[in-house]
């Protein structure tokens, strides 16, 4: 996803000299590629995320379009007040790109995990939130964020995520992707954990369960029409998210269900209000927290 992000940002930067790629010592080889091509459109603030976020707002006020880019945890938590006051309150055209969504920084532990960002940021007015699942979706989200004149938070994973979309994929903010419509169990999923959701759906399908799989790439604004439509024809709904079950996509669905008086049962599968256990690869940490495809399948089956 990082390479998809930088690739798209370079494409945009080539046509728009006001686009700035801002880093808080968070660069990798991809960013050096950006620097090589656009030396005047990249700046490293050093290890000072809040400073970078507030300065980005200042730059936006002079007509630039900054993309601030570092680990999601250091943006959503450390820089929260700066995102709120300097960017969102004043509706500045800054894109906040948190890399390493969910448990992607698996081996570095909870200080680097981004498993409460949706809860924290969803409550801030003026902020759009995109949560792409695959590299192609990252590319589309970055384009949409660029086209929107206002603050956007994009949570992206790391690298080597599987691709489930083809060349014709289009992303429209506030629209879900119904990936499979095949019964009266609906599974809503957001972010790169989509690949684990597919594994769980495969197991369930093999056992004869009819499952709908809905990807939610835009957390705010949420596609409540689609969510309601899918929920109304379902016996049971599940949410899979690499996030605390408090305040995440599941909570957002619960708000919609209660607002519209839907009695459909809703089961939220994520971190049960805990910091993630374990270290190792991303797959290993997902497994240690019951968020790998097989564990998800088992947890869903228990509820059916």
Site residues (vs another protein, CB under 8 A): 40, 43, 45-46, 48, 50-64, 81-82, 85-86, 89-90
Q: Where are the alpha helices (DSSP H) in 21-156?
A: 29-37, 49-61, 72-73, 80-82, 117-121, 135-147
> Nearest distance from residue 105's CB to another protein, in Å?
23
Nearest to another protein of 81, 303 (CB atom): 81
265: three-class secondary structure by DSSP: strand
Nearest to another protein of 64, 297 (CB atom): 64
| Strand segments (E) across 101-182 | 128-130, 152-156, 177-180
DSSP class of residue 130? E
DSSP class of residue 217? -
Nearest to another protein of 123, 170 (CB atom): 123
> Nearest distance from residue 18's CB to another protein, in Å?
9
The answer to whether 46 and 27 have CB atoms below 8 angstroms apart is no
> Nearest distance from residue 54's CB to another protein, in Å?
3
The answer to whether 58 and 105 have CB atoms below 8 angstroms apart is no
> Nearest distance from residue 19's CB to another protein, in Å?
12
Nearest to another protein of 58, 221 (CB atom): 58
> Nearest distance from residue 9's CB to another protein, in Å?
18
| Structure token pair of residue 290 | 């019951």
What are the angstrom distances between the C-alpha of 71 and each of 27, 110, 114, 157, 256?
10, 12, 8, 10, 30
Nearest to another protein of 55, 219 (CB atom): 55
């Amino acid at each position: 996803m990082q390479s998809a992000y930088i690739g798209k940002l370079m494409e945009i930067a080539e046509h728009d000299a006001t686009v700035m790629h801002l880093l808080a010592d968070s660069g990798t080889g991809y960013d050096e590629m950006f620097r090589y091509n656009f030396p005047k459109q990249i700046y490293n603030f050093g290890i000072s995320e809040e400073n970078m976020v507030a300065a980005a707002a200042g730059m936006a006020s002079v007509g630039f379009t900054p993309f601030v880019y570092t680990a999601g945890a250091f943006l959503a938590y450390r820089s929260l007040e700066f995102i709120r006051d300097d960017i969102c309150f004043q509706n500045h055209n800054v894109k906040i790109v948190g890399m390493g969504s969910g448990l992607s920084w698996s081996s570095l532990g909870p200080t680097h995990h981004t498993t409460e960002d949706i809860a924290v940021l969803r409550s801030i007015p003026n902020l759009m939130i995109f949560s792409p699942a695959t590299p192609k979706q990252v590319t589309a989200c970055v384009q949409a964020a660029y086209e929107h004149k206002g603050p956007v938070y994009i949570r992206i994973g790391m690298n080597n995520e599987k691709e489930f979309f083809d060349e014709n994929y289009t992303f429209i903010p506030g629209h879900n992707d119904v990936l499979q419509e095949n019964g009266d169990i609906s599974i809503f999923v957001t972010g790169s954990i989509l690949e684990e959701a597919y594994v769980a759906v495969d197991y369930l399908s093999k056992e004869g369960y009819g499952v709908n799989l809905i990807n939610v790439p835009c957390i705010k604004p949420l596609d409540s029409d689609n969510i309601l439509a899918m929920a109304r024809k379902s016996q049971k709904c599940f949410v899979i998210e690499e996030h605390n079950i408090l305040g995440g996509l599941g909570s957002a669905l619960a708000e919609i269900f209660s607002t519209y008086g839907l009695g459909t049962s809703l089961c939220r599968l994520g971190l049960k209000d805990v910091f993630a256990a374990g270290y190792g690869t991303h797959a290993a940490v997902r497994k240690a927290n019951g968020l790998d495809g097989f564990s998800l399948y088992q947890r869903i089956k228990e509820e059916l």
